[in-house]
Chains A and B, each alone.
Chain A
Amino acid sequence: MNKTLIIAQREFTSRVRKKTFLLTTILLPLLFAGFYFAIIWFSVKGGDAVKVLVSDRSNVFNGNLKSDADVSFHFLNQATEQQLADSINAGSFNAYMYVPEHFNNATDSIRIRTAKSLGLLTKEKVEKRINGQFQERKMLTLVSQAQLDSVRKDANLDINPLKSEKKQDKSGAAYIVGMASGFLIYIILFIYGTMVMRGVMEEKVNRIAEVIVSSVKPFQLMMGKILGIGAVGLVQFLIWIVLSVVIRGILPSLMGMDEQTSNAMAGAATQVPTTGLLAQIESLNIPLIIGCFIFYFLGGYLLYSSLFAAVGSAVNEDPQDAQSLMLPITMPIIFAIVIAMKAVNDPTSNLAVFGSLFPLTSPVVMMARIAHGIPDGVTTMQLILSMVFLVIGFLGTTWLAGKIYRTGILLYGKKPTWKEMWKWAFRKN
């Protein structure tokens, strides 16, 4: 078997078998999903319903307070305060409200007593209902219902950009998908890049590198590591995709929710008109986006991980050395996410075009553009060029990193500068 593959296999299995891999791969999304559902669950279900018994002796509310699932008002207008208190104690109501006879807002107060102290949200809801109804009744003594309604009505606004009515249809979804996928690649480059760097540093510090390079070429060792960790990343993604599909399908029925609640949950989760967004997402070219995502993930990973490997080979025991040497590598990634934020708003600007062609930034920036589709976000020509540049780019960085790596991995002592590493890269033999 090819030695690069043997090394990649070891890198892969030793990481996949670790407990932390299981933890991060399976538990993390579960944890997120758990949070997600818990938050929605509680925000939809709220606390227990509060039943308020109302004795409105001055008829301030005219028997008219809006009830819903969380807070309900029940009128018993002739009851004395003592009777109200008794029914609370009997447990049939959680609270009572007592409006004294000849109620005057300047001097009197409406008494609300609760069995247990109310939660902040519930309290706010109760207050809002009562005050709203109270003000409305007051105003109606001054103006007519029709006048009140006309005052309340908002101005009719129609906000839309001048050009390209059609594009507007999907820009919301394109924005979200573009930004999310760009950001995901940005995170991946960092996480897996530093994973490669740490692996290389470990080999150097453990001094196993010398044993191994007496069996294989340093380049094979580096590539094996990069490929092995890349495979870990891919597997992690696959597991996440499968998990998220399974969780979305299974969890609502596990929690005993009917179709309606889960719909309500989805609605509450996004805070956006869901039907519109869903339609927008369907209008995106999903296969193209996923295909490009995988391509740019792999391309970007190969491009950057070899650079991270070169840095790892150059540093010694001191992790702080790694920090400072990493800076020139992390800068373009950060730069890329900044351009991507611009590009997702304006995918055809000069900056976006440059960023999506330049191989150091293209994996992140192109994802922001590609979400807008072809040809709205990016032309086919630009996409092909970008892909070609990325391939050339990672071949270049891998070659360069291989040279640095070969010298660095066996060199102990002081921390090299970038200038020295540059010399290693272009030295013959």
Chain B
Amino acid sequence: MNILEVRNLRKYYATQKAVDDISFNLAPGSIFGLLGPNGAGKTTLIRMITGIFYPDEGEILFNGRPFNPQTDILQTGYMPEERGLYKKMKIGEQAVYLAQLKGMSKSEAMEKVKEWFIRFDMQSWWNKKVEDLSKGMSQKLQFVTTVLHEPKLIILDEPFSGLDPVNANLIKDEIYRLAKNGASIIFSTHRMEQVEEICDHIILVNKGRKILDGTVKQVKQQFKEHQFRISFDENPKSTQSDVFEVIEENQHELVVKIREGRKPNDVLQFFLDQQTGINAFQEILPSLNEIFIRLVEGTPLARQFESINA
């Protein structure tokens, strides 16, 4: 059973269709990438899933039942892109307080906070205030407060921004660990290299609509352009063929695009016939970044205001 099912969700503002008919499913233990350019409607979508906004239309199923903000948000952890903590409050107390708001008892929260502080090597921070922390440190604290109450659904909006590689890896490992322990993670970002590395499943949202849905592998297959990189012992005698066209030509190396109806084997056959020694033959799959840019490009960078009759 999916932990979260979103069906035909819509949310219109006075001047924008922020979320326009988006559906997706989230399996337990999976890491889900929610991608999209700025202003695509990601935050609005997340706010509906976290119970902050009510959708205009559509439904959200949490654990197979209709989403009930009162109880279900206690099993949700949300780290917004704009981080927020009380600057003047002591860090230990703050973490305990936020856990209490998620329904933990004080003693239970205390125990958990201590456990996490040890895991992240933050014990000495307990009596410090947030204003004493660096940006990266408060980021770590924010992450801890998000996952402290062991939520089943964790929503992270740009979790790595402002973190150095060491701490980013620390958080990344925690994300893997949480997923392995059964938590589902929605990972909202526009940093594609992280998505490729971490996410099992992605959707791409633009102008409030879902324009892409699938596993990273599927999406790459879907957008592959049948390009191959071939390296040779020597430069081939001829590169003229009706099997492929040459995209790029380097020393002892070619990038070719296979024509419609032809197979990679046809390319290999062509060079074998020439007696050219082949060292490597590899398909070039587009990076998510390229796919993202290709899909989003051509649409205006900034969303325009429009009047909505809803």
Q: How far is the CA of A14 from the CA of B97 in the complex (A)?
A: 12
Residue A129 at the chain B interface, CB threshold 8 Å:
no
Q: Is the CB of B85 within 8 A of A215?
A: no
B86 to A, closest residue via Cβ: A208
B47: chain A residues within 8 A (beta carbon): 410
The distance in angstroms between the C-alpha atoms of A307 and B102, with both chains bound, is: 27
Q: Are B86 and A214 in contact (CB under 8 A)?
A: no
Q: Check if B89 sits within 8 Å of A6, measured CB to CB.
A: no
Q: A14-B89, A210-B52, A410-B52 are contacts. A216–B84 as well, Cβ < 8 Å?
A: no
Contact A3 B89 (CB under 8 A): no
Q: Which of B74, B98, B101 has the most CB of A within 10 A?
A: B101
Cβ contact within 8 Å between A215 and B84: no
Q: Which of B50, B54, B86 contacts A429 (CB 8 A)?
A: B54
- Determine whether B73 belongs to the interface, using a CB cutoff of 8 Å to chain A: yes
B67 → chain A closest CB, angstroms: 13
| Interface pick from B30-38, B75-83, B195-203, B268-276 | B75-83
A220 to chain B, nearest CB (A): 9
Interface majority SS (helix, strand, loop, mixed), chain A? helix
In the complex formed, the residue of B with least CB distance to A218 is B52
Q: Is B51 an interface residue (CB 8 A)?
A: yes
**Distance of A242 Cα from B97 Cα, bound (Å):** 32
Residue interface bits A399-420, CB-to-B below 8 A is 1, else 0: 0000000000010000000000
B80 touches A207 (CB 8 A): yes
| Shortest Cβ gap from B68 to chain A (Å) | 12
Is the pair B84, A207 in contact by a Cβ cutoff of 8 Å? yes
Question: Are B83 and A207 interface neighbours, CB within 8 A?
Answer: yes
| Residues B78 and A214 in contact, CB atoms below 8 Å apart | yes
CB under 8 Å from chain B, chain A span 1-33: 1, 3, 6-7, 10, 14
Take A214-B50, A214-B51, A214-B73 as given contacts and tell me if A10 and B84 are in contact as well, using a CB distance cutoff of 8 Å.
Answer: no
Whether, in the assembled complex, A209 has its beta carbon less than 8 Å from a beta carbon of chain B, the answer is yes
User: Are A7 and B101 in contact, CB atoms less than 8 angstroms apart?
Assistant: yes
Residues in A whose Cβ lies below 8 Å from that of B50: 214
Q: Which of chain A's residues have a CB closer than 8 A to the CB of B82? A: 207, 210
Nearest-Cβ distance from residue B59 to partner chain A, whole angstroms: 15
Chain A residues with Cβ below 8 Å from B54 are 429
- B217 in the interface, Cβ–Cβ < 8 Å? no
Q: Give B145's nearest chain A residue, CB to CB.
A: A211
- CB closest residue in chain B, given A221: B101
Closest residue on chain B to residue A409 by CB atoms: B52
Which A residues are in CB contact (< 8 Å) with B74? 215
Asked if A6 and B52 make an inter-chain contact with CB atoms under 8 angstroms apart, the answer reads no
> Which listed residue (B69, B79, B84) contacts A208, Cβ 8 A?
B84
When the two chains form their complex, are residues B102 and A10 in contact, meaning their CB atoms are under 8 A apart? Answer: no
Q: Is the CB of A14 within 8 A of B84?
A: no
User: CB-nearest residue of chain A relative to B130?
Assistant: A206
Q: Does B180 sit at the interface, judged by CB under 8 A?
A: no
Residue from the set A7, A206, A208, A410 with the largest chain B CB neighbour count within 10 Å: A208
Closest to A212 in B: B101
Assess whether A213 is interfacial by the CB under 8 Å rule: yes
Pair A211/B87 contact, Cβ less than 8 Å: no
Of the candidates B80, B86, B101, B145, the one whose C-beta lies within 8 Å of that of A216 is: B101
Q: Nearest Cβ distance between residue A348 and chain B, in whole angstroms?
A: 50
Report A-chain residues with C-beta under 8 Å of the C-beta of B78: 210-211, 214
A7 surroundings in chain B (CB, below 8 A): 101
B83 close to A214 (CB less than 8 A):
no
Cβ-defined contact, B73 with A215, below 8 A: yes
Q: Is the CB of B101 within 8 A of A6?
A: yes
Question: Does B119 sit within 8 A of A, measured CB to CB?
Answer: no
CB pair B85–A208 under 8 Å, yes or no, is yes
Interface centre among A3, A211, A217 (most CB of B within 10 A): A211
- A363 CB, min distance to chain B CBs, angstroms: 31
**A206, B84: Cβ atoms closer than 8 Å:** yes
Residue in B closest to A213 when the chains form the complex, CB atoms = B52
Is B100 positioned at the interface, with any CB of A under 8 Å from its CB?
A: yes
Task: Annotate A207-235 by CB proximity to B: 1 below 8 A, 0 otherwise.
Answer: 11111111111000000000000000000
Q: Which residues of B contact A (CB under 8 A)?
A: 47, 50-52, 54, 69, 73-74, 76, 78-80, 82-89, 97-98, 100-102, 145
Query: Could you name 25 residue pairs across A and B whose Cβ atoms are closer than 8 Å?
Result: A6-B101, A7-B101, A10-B97, A14-B88, A14-B89, A206-B84, A206-B86, A207-B80, A207-B84, A208-B84, A208-B86, A209-B84, A210-B78, A211-B78, A211-B79, A211-B85, A211-B98, A214-B50, A214-B51, A214-B76, A214-B78, A214-B80, A215-B74, A215-B101, A215-B102
Closest 9 interchain pairs by CB?
A207-B84, A208-B84, A215-B101, A214-B78, A207-B82, A214-B50, A210-B80, A429-B54, A206-B84
